[in-house]
Amino acid sequence: MSKIGKATITVPAGVTAAIEGQTVKVKGPKGALQVDLVDEIGASLDGGVISFKPRGETNRHKAMWGLSRTLVSNLVEGVTKGFEKKLEISGVGYKAAVQGKNLNLSLGYSHDVLYPIPEGIQIVTPKPTEIVVSGIDRQKVGQVAAEIREYRGPEPYKGKGVKYAGEFIFRKEGKKK
């Protein structure tokens, strides 16, 4: 039995959910999202409560059970509250700024990196060394944050680069004489 899969999702006030075949659609104050569930899982909506049942007993059915419930839970949370990831930039001269529909990153290269902001994602830079990525789709927010971090990931000697807020960077000791 999947502990996550057997938990139900209560649809909050102001959010409408609909299940059409294997597609779950959720609409709320921040927008609308949908997800296509795998064939191994059946979803049902009863009076504002979404529940999931596997259509078999194999390991794949059990794995998809918990995954499906979490995906729909993320949709409901996204259209009500939204998601955000914070990134921190450390290093001399490293900075970020939003310019129109692009994020301009100065990360120690001979050129500035221009990252085009995808549709449905908002990026703000409260400080030149801080980036906040937000949106209603959890997967897309995480993917955008990972792509920005990838331009110059944190290095282990001085910790320079782009890292998630609160991320621990294991520091290495430098060369000794």
Query: Which pLDDT tens digit goes with each residue over 100-111?
Result: 999 999 999 999
Q: Where do the structural domains in the chain lie, given as residue ranges? A: 9-80, 83-164
CA dist., res. 25 & res. 60, Å (int): 24
pTM summary value: 0.89
Closest residue by Cα to residue 72 from 23, 116, 30: 23
Closest residue by Cα to residue 69 from 46, 32, 42: 42
Given this chain, do its domains 9-80 and 83-164 carry the same CATH topology?
yes
CA dist., res. 67 & res. 4, Å (int): 8
CB atoms within 10 A of CB 107: 19
| Residue 3 pLDDT | 82
Closest residue by Cα to residue 5 from 67, 59, 56: 67
Degrees to nearest 5, angle at CA 134 with 154 and 75: 120
C-alpha distance across the termini of the chain, in Å: 58
Distances (CA, A) of 140 to 17, 106, 127, 147, 159: 21, 23, 23, 10, 26
Q: Which CATH superfamily is domain 83-164 in?
A: Ribosomal protein L6 (3.90.930.12)
Please say whether the beta carbons of 169 and 157 come within 8 A. Answer: no
149-158 tens-digit pLDDT: 999 999 999 9
| Residue 174 pLDDT | 85
27-47 tens-digit pLDDT: 999 999 999 999 999 999 998
9-80 CATH pick, 3.20.20.140, 3.90.930.12, 3.20.10.10, 3.40.50.300: 3.90.930.12
Q: pLDDT confidence of 175, banded at 50, 70, 90? A: confident
Average pLDDT over the chain reads 92
